[in-house]
Amino acid sequence: MIVCAILFVFISELAFALPISDLEAAEQFYLRTQYQEALQVLGQSKSSDSAIFALSGKCYYMLGDYKKATESFEKAVAMAPNNAEVINWLGKAYGRRAETSSFLTAPRYASQTRQFFERAVQLDRNNLEAVDDLFEYYKEAPGFLGGGEDKAQRLAEQLRDRAPSKYHSLLARMAEKKKQLQEAEQHFHKAAELAPDEEGRLVDLAVFLARNKRYQESEKIMDQASAIAPNSQSLKFERAKIYIESGHNMGIARNLLNEYINSSSLTPDDPPRSEARQLLAKTSQ
């Protein structure tokens, strides 16, 4: 019995001492939003598989280097042509390039964005992030670039039974674009009702109300979201953004953004610190 116990301790200590892979080390940096450190590890790695290039692409994307992001994602997709998640990331990166490039190259990048979003959804219709990205493209892009509200509507209908909260969220955004504000509000409420544990649905509703100058109602909804996720850093960012865009509570907004920027618990799912700094600059204008 004693021998078994000693052996167990020895094996446990040995396993703990084993070095983690370059990919695992880089992923840990990435999850802590330490993107440069992650890239340093990946750059020294002797491996060159799809996961390495995909993570490199995510880091470059988060750092705003969309050209290097697309280059890395292209390599990842070449090695894993049926990986819907990576293909969708490639679409995101091309989308950012379209937004930040000249009028000569933007249409080409926009078309590539659509093609990769469509491919990602075709490969995995349960990837709601990919569906959301494609919906947003269809909703906003002009017809000559493959957009169209009819396409967005048909895509949303595919989620009616599979993901009803997301379905109503998409319909709300479409109705708001069409200036059908009463219908949009109904859908935002329904989306939140169908996903009572998702603070993001309440944030969507609060932002909508603030955009329509219904600030007190917006504040109450944000309080509900905070009750669901009291430790959420992104809620500080969203509340500050509402205050700044509405032009009130600027001092509170400044404090919230400073807390957000200095937080050690941000993740890649949270808005980047660079966006928070841009908002913070507006509080002193």
* pLDDT, tens digit (0-9, with 9 covering 90-100), for 108-147: 999 999 999 999 999 999 999 999 999 999 999 999 999 9
Q: What is the pLDDT of residue 19?
A: 52
Residue 16 lies in a domain: no
Is the pLDDT reported for residue 94 higher than 70?
A: yes
One domain for residues 163 and 145: no
* Percent of the chain surpassing pLDDT 70: 93
- If we measure between CA atoms, which residue out of 96, 158, 101 comes closest to residue 132? 158
Residue 136 lies in a domain: yes
One domain for residues 98 and 127: yes
**Burial class (CB within 10 angstroms; exposed 0-12, middle 13-18, buried 19+) of 269:** exposed
Residue 17 lies in a domain: no
HSE-CB at 184 with a 13 A cutoff on CA atoms is 17
Domain assignment of residue 205, given as a range: 159-230
Give this prediction's pTM: 0.88
